[in-house]
């Protein structure tokens, strides 16, 4: 292998590593939830589980609409510290998630501070230091475009599609 070819491959690897983004999921994309299958479908891109955490700020997490969809309302300071999972995703998976989440109409992808509770991630020194400090910045799909009556719904600190709330999530393929 020529020196130039090796350098190109090395630079490509470095460029790929730098394009990974952190995403915090709190609803149907978590392990054990109805849409987790998308997080492990490599045809949609790469997503690597890094750990668990919760939002540093409080937010309302509601289950709303006729399909019982979990929504984090973008109202900082109201509600609970929302529990979820932290993933490192590539650009392809980030684009898939934007489409899946109806971004920017239904949800908006914004950076939020996440308190790390459990960390499995293996990454660079900066990532290890951030995890050691306990707070990471992650993209989160929350919404500022919701009907005003949603503010009056019950607030949850964690989402489980089969939770005691009794509001079963309706998969897209089952919707009319």
Residue-range domain boundaries for the chain: 21-164
Known catalytic residue at 101: yes
Does the pLDDT value for residue 125 go beyond 60? no
- pLDDT tens across 12-68, in order? 444 445 578 999 999 999 999 999 999 999 999 999 999 999 999 999 999 999 999
Identify which has the larger pLDDT, 164 or 76.
Answer: 76
Apex 26 CA angle, 19 and 59, nearest 5: 105
| Tokens standing for residue 4 | 């130039």
Does the pLDDT value for residue 151 go beyond 50? yes
Query: Where on the phi/psi map is residue 67: left (φ > 0), alpha (ψ -120 to 50), or beta?
Result: alpha
The candidate with the shortest Cα–Cα distance to 152, out of 78, 77, 48, is 78
Single pTM value for the model: 0.84
Dist CA 138 CA 111 (whole Å): 5
The candidate with the shortest Cα–Cα distance to 29, out of 45, 17, 15, is 45
Does the pLDDT value for residue 6 go beyond 50? no
Q: Give the pLDDT confidence score for residue 154 in this predicted structure.
A: 97
Q: Can you list the pairs that 7-14 forms with residues at least 24 positions away whose Cβ atoms lie under 8 Å?
A: none
Fold classification of 21-164 (topology level)? Hypothetical upf0131 protein ytfp (3.10.490)
Of 40-54, 85-99, 130-144, 145-159, the one with minimum mean pLDDT is: 130-144
Catalytic residue among 3, 101, 127, 137: 101
DSSP letter string over 16-64? HHHT-EEEEE-STTSTTSTTHHHHT-GGG--EEEEEEEEESS-B-EEEE
């Amino acid at each position: 292998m020529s020196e130039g070819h090796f350098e190109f491959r090395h630079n490509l690897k470095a460029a790929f590593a730098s394009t990974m983004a952190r995403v915090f999921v709190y609803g149907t994309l978590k392990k054990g939830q109805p849409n987790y299958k998308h997080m492990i479908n490599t045809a949609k891109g790469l997503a690597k589980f890094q750990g668990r955490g919760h939002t540093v700020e409080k937010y309302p997490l509601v289950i709303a609409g006729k399909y019982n969809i979990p929504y984090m309302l973008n109202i900082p300071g109201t509600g609970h510290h929302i529990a979820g999972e932290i993933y490192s995703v590539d650009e392809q998976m980030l684009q898939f998630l934007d489409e899946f989440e109806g971004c920017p109409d239904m949800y908006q992808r914004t950076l939020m501070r996440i308190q790390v509770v459990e960390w499995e991630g293996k990454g660079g020194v900066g990532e290890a230091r951030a995890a050691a400090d306990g707070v990471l910045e992650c993209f989160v799909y929350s919404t500022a475009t919701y009907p005003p009556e949603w503010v009056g719904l019950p607030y949850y600190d964690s989402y489980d599609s089969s939770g005691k709330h009794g509001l079963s999530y309706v998969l897209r393929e089952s919707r009319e």
